[in-house]
A and B are shown apart, each in its own frame.
Chain A
Amino acid sequence: MLFLASRQWSRGKRHGTFALSKANKMKTKQTIAIIGATGNMGSAISQSLAKGNYRLLLHAPHEDKLTTLVHTIKAAHPSAEVESIDCSKQASWEADIIILAVPYAAEKEVADKIREVANQKIVISIANPLNATYNGLVTDATTSAAEELQKLLPNATVIKAFNTTYAADFAQPVIDGKQVDAFVAGNNEDALQTVSDLVATAGFNPIVAGDLSVSRTLEGMQLLLIQLTMKYNYNWVAGWKVLHN
């Protein structure tokens, strides 16, 4: 953890939700490296976080796509601090928070590159370890993509987030009049709060679901949502909402 904000906002009294209106009161601009920024999810996350008080460093192998993305973000948010960077290690070295917006299969390769500079930093795992036909997960029931990433980056603070939301939801975080919930899991209280800030900045309702092992449930939830989306033709705009009194 770096120079992070005091927790000036508090956890909601019920259900571990966070008060949106008080999100991210921190003055010191944090730098976020987004690895895999030009993918569907990476691009959606980058564009939505450009609204917040963050400096974004975008990395992806496709230079032309990256340039286009930076232009798109600057056109939508002229005051946003965003730039492309051609090395994932350099991006992570400058970052306070690292978002791995790469498929599960690519996590190991990225982890090997950034290990030395990811020490003690928040690394967000968004991946769902889906098999090729989307009818199951490639991880066994005793683990999750997030826990596997934590093993690859033992000195980083891995947090699960943004895995139960489709890319299209970022442009439309309110569906059918309801704000989509976005679940966050991890083992470090400060980091959970910091990532909940990001989730709120993106327009979702952050809910801390539990420790990192809860990622198994969260990844399974997205598998189910994908199966339902295909079965009932939700057109890839769908999300989870916990109803409660």
Chain B
Amino acid sequence: MYSAYFDNFTKKVPLTPEERELIQSHLSVKKIRKKQYLLQEGDVCKSIAFVEKGMLREYSLDEQGGEHIIQFASEGWFISDMYSFITAEPATYNIDAIEDSELVMISRSSHDYLLTNCPKYETFTLQLITGAYLAMQKRLNSTIAASLESRYESFMALYPHIAQRVPQHMIASYIGLTPETLSRVRRRIASNKG
């Protein structure tokens, strides 16, 4: 409880015991079971969640009810509908648990308090957002410029631990393919290798 969060934190930004205590007093821990929602579209996203254990996904629903996964979050990752969190507008994404999970959560008011009153927290947040921005650029380029084969292969290379834990149709959704297309892509890759 809290330890994975602080391991992640101190790898990026070392903390004194006092700073750690201050930050911990603003965090909250939550267990969530497989298939439970952390957030449903239309509600305001009130927290950023860090995954200590387990796996969650964030997705939008199209008019036909199709799911479009924009992010997976396994151990050591953060997940939130950031637009809703920052603006307090209703969320456009859903977040649910793919596995039983243990989370460390921070609310908007605590997040704001620590950004103002704890410079190390600000540094940590800046590093997180920078990392997320770089990943987003890479994902965008892959989506608009790469071949289907390379989209799939780069997902498998980047996130082998996720690929092992989620069903194929979710991987298809994440890289923007139908499950049928993904099957064809995987067959093509297999036959090229063979």
Q: Knowing A120-B107, A120-B110 are in contact, say whether A4-B44 is a contact too (CB < 8 A).
A: yes
A5 contacts chain B at the CB level, 8 A cutoff: yes
| B28 contact from A6, A121, A154, Cβ within 8 A | A121
- Restricting to A87-116, which residues have a CB under 8 Å from any CB of B? 90, 93-94, 96, 116
Residue in contact with B39 in the complex, picked from A28, A94, A119, CB distance below 8 Å: A28
A84 to B29, CA, bound (A): 20
CB neighbours of A121 from chain B (8 A): 28
Query: Contact: A117 with B29, CB < 8 Å?
Result: yes
Q: Does A14 contact B (CB under 8 A)?
A: no
B43 touches A26 (CB 8 A): yes
State which size class the interface on A falls in.
20 to 34
Please state if B31 and A1 are interface contacts (CB–CB under 8 Å): no
Bound Cα distance A117, B39 (Å): 20
Q: Is the pair B29, A2 in contact by a Cβ cutoff of 8 Å?
A: no
Complex: A99 Cα to B20 Cα, angstroms: 28
Whole-angstrom distance between the alpha carbons of A120 and B1 in the complex? 14
Chain B residues whose CB sits within 8 angstroms of the CB of A120 once the complex forms: 26-28, 105, 107, 110
C-alpha gap A93/B31 in the complex (Å): 6
Is A27 interfacial (CB-CB < 8 Å)?
Answer: yes
Choose from B24, B26, B46 the contact partner of A3 (Cβ within 8 Å): B46
Contact of B47 among A1, A55, A93, A117 (CB under 8 A): A1
* B residues adjacent to A (C-beta < 8 A): 1, 24-33, 36-47, 88, 90, 105, 107, 109-110
13 pairs from A and B in contact (CB 8 Å cutoff): A2-B30, A3-B38, A5-B44, A6-B43, A6-B44, A6-B88, A26-B43, A28-B37, A93-B30, A93-B31, A94-B33, A120-B26, A120-B27
Chain A residues with a Cβ under 8 A of chain B: 1-6, 26-29, 55, 90, 93-94, 96, 116-117, 119-121, 154-155
